[in-house]
Structure 1
């Protein structure tokens, strides 16, 4: 199966608790660094068009098969089917590693299942927690609202010690996840420590949909709404529509759309979400393109603005917040909104990932994640970061530049730390100025004068905001 995605990470450091022959089939759906929906089977015609390429490919495959056969026959020690499979997985990983492409990778069946549940599909069967490794401990990092774990009283910070009477102290986090996961309706017994207490839970697993959208009325006086999107998956649009409905019911007059630290996701969702904010035919020179896909053979194709079923019916002044961890699908939406002038971008230069990955599911349930194209914003410029001689990303290169640069305070602790959130303060100041009658240019100038620091150290200095 084949699917396109746009997101820089393959497997997150934080795992959702309770997620859990190599001929290629194509999974089809669109995802920038991920997009999956209709199945499409791909077959290369290169062999018929170029017999020499076919011979070279056959020679390489025969060489691998010969080497593996000799290894199994003569190596001192047993190499059975499971070991052969693992050797093949490692061979594929080693082959991809030589490309020096951090976005091209191989996922074994467990990793691929987890990737689908956490990154593309947006739901899973489990207890509804996020776990993090703190060797030798596995700790509950987050309890998902409305999930089974919350219902029984599990809390963030709980240390998991046993699962179904099996000690998990010192166990790899992936193995702990495998013990905890299971079909909806089944039970799992989990023991945790909380401070000096030992607590036991019997939890009935269920299908859990982790929220990727958070929203609230940031400024009740000016009716400025705030929507935070953490990922572009199959649930994103549905959850965004709920947020739009709720905020519009409260009389929303302006919106902060927060994409800070959003690593990306499905290409198709990026196109849909950008289409919500950008009127068709508003800039004829851009041909209604949300993003331009540049294939390896040089062919280019624009992904157009779509008619999206959305509850966002009345466009209001818009600010998009970004930082240097806003990547891939986030950059597609940011670039489109900026190029069409549909909103004002505030924050930092984005990550700089302007390439598309396609996901190919293999017959054994593993997956190849291959860079198959570049993408450009509607005005057609390269946003990919530059690399040093060791193929490491060079900070401050590539990405989407904000309309108003605002560095974060060094001690900012995240969304709930509003007192130190200079970028949010700048967004609110801009939108209040707009609602008070300033033009975009006037509001931009005012906020730049008040908030644009020259150094990160300057970001720690307090900002005096007038009576707006």
Structure 2
């Protein structure tokens, strides 16, 4: 009887092993292409912010992808993009090796292209401009935040992923690309032909200005949060302090963001203490980043923001506003409150995954809402050459605010 029982149990175990193998196969039987699909699936499964995966059966998505004919790497990339598309999150995306290298280069300080930071609408899938990069062909052509990019060289952008659109705008310096744009205050779409160029990202410009009342104001313009931003801004503040600055204007207009850590480090330049930002994962785990002082200066500070102020710029603006360190002047910011992490893939490609959302120190979730300035000053779109001049109403409002006795006394 015992011998028979052992035989039955062994048979059940064997049947169970065989059944588990049907349709899956042992892990070592996967092809290189299938392994890459599985690698992407595992990263998203572990790290993605939305644990419902946009109310999709994420395991079924994997199985369906693995059953496709993955005969070459391009087909595999297309399959991965289709797998990620079900999430309906434009920020979670595959970066092919050349795209990944380009992104890494841009965050380190240089890129080649037209100089547009773009996003895809979650509801309508429309491609729109976050902000043009300072000094880029896009800015020189007058492209503005919130402009919609309808076509790239005649191709409807609704058909393109975010990275496909970006890739079509990149290219060798000196080559041309034509964009069809739509602007809210114009009746008809219009075309702009841009000449691609090598764009050096110098994130900080600074100078000391004297008002008619004798106030020495350090004007700091920060165009992007790349790897150089914190050290360059620190050096600029120290130089202006040495030159006798009484107060500061930090201009974050049309700054589309960049590295989260750069935003945190720059907030620490201005704050003695306090929370800079909270991050919330899908498990609801709340992490925080704190200032640990001392700040480089205690002088009064006004921050200029607009609809092109996004992502890491909003983290910085929210930290300074909620901690009472600065007053914000301008218009409501862009409203990107999601955080992405970059993951290296085994073939040299990369994967950007939305892993968390952030909240300001006062626990404001600004995604799609933006940050409302303390003083709203509506203006028509300004060119970069107008920023920080007498023809810039938001800058003039900041000067008036700094000149008030209440602000100079440190009362916010």
- TM normalised by structure 2 equals 0.64
Q: Which residue of 2 aligns with 1:345?
A: 328
Q: Which residue of 2 aligns with 1:110?
A: 98
* Contact 1:131–1:142, Cα closer than 8 Å, also in 2: no
Query: How far apart are 1:424 and its partner, in Å?
Result: 0.2
- 1:136-147 equivalent positions in 2, closer than 5 A: 142=135
Q: Which residue of 2 aligns with 1:421?
A: 392
Alpha-carbon displacement from aligned partner over 1:30-68 (angstroms, at most 9, x marks no partner) = xxxxxxxxxxx989889xxxxxxxxx8676544423321
* Contact 1:24–1:363, Cα closer than 8 Å, also in 2: no
* Contact 1:25–1:361, Cα closer than 8 Å, also in 2: no
1:68 aligns with 2:69: yes
Q: Which residue of 1 aligns with 2:205?
A: 214
Q: Which residue of 1 aligns with 2:276?
A: 290
Query: How far apart are 1:96 and its partner, in Å?
Result: 2.3
Question: Aligned to 2:361, what secondary structure does the other structure show?
Answer: coil
Cα pair distance change 1:175/1:236, threshold 3 Å: closer
- 1:47-446 equivalent positions in 2, closer than 5 A: 60-68=61-69, 72=71, 84-119=72-107, 121-123=108-110, 131=114, 142=135, 174-176=170-172, 210-219=201-210, 221-280=214-273, 288-307=274-293, 313-385=296-368, 398-408=369-379, 410=380, 412-417=382-387, 418-434=389-405, 440=411
CA distance in 2 between counterparts of 1:58 and 1:102 reads 21
Query: How far apart are 1:25 and its partner, in Å?
Result: 8.2
CA distance in 2 between counterparts of 1:178 and 1:89 reads 29
Q: Which residue of 1 aligns with 2:145?
A: none
CA distance in 1 between counterparts of 2:102 and 2:209 reads 34
Gaps of 5+ in 1: 1-20, 27-40, 47-55, 73-83, 134-140, 145-155, 158-169, 180-204, 281-287, 386-397, 442-468
Question: Aligned to 1:67, what secondary structure does the other structure show?
Answer: coil
Gaps of 5+ in 2: 1-34, 48-56, 117-133, 142-153, 155-166, 176-197
* Contact 1:317–1:434, Cα closer than 8 Å, also in 2: no
Task: Tell me the matched-pair count.
Answer: 301
Query: How far apart are 1:231 and its partner, in Å?
Result: 1.0
Question: Aligned to 2:67, what secondary structure does the other structure show?
Answer: helix
Alpha-carbon displacement from aligned partner over 1:285-306 (angstroms, at most 9, x marks no partner) = xxx3211111101111111224
CA distance in 2 between counterparts of 1:43 and 1:356 reads 14
Query: How far apart are 1:259 and its partner, in Å?
Result: 0.7
Query: How far apart are 1:314 and its partner, in Å?
Result: 3.0
Alpha-carbon displacement from aligned partner over 1:178-235 (angstroms, at most 9, x marks no partner) = 99xxxxxxxxxxxxxxxxxxxxxxxxx9xx9631101112336421011011111110
CA distance in 1 between counterparts of 2:338 and 2:407 reads 40
Question: Aligned to 2:250, what secondary structure does the other structure show?
Answer: strand
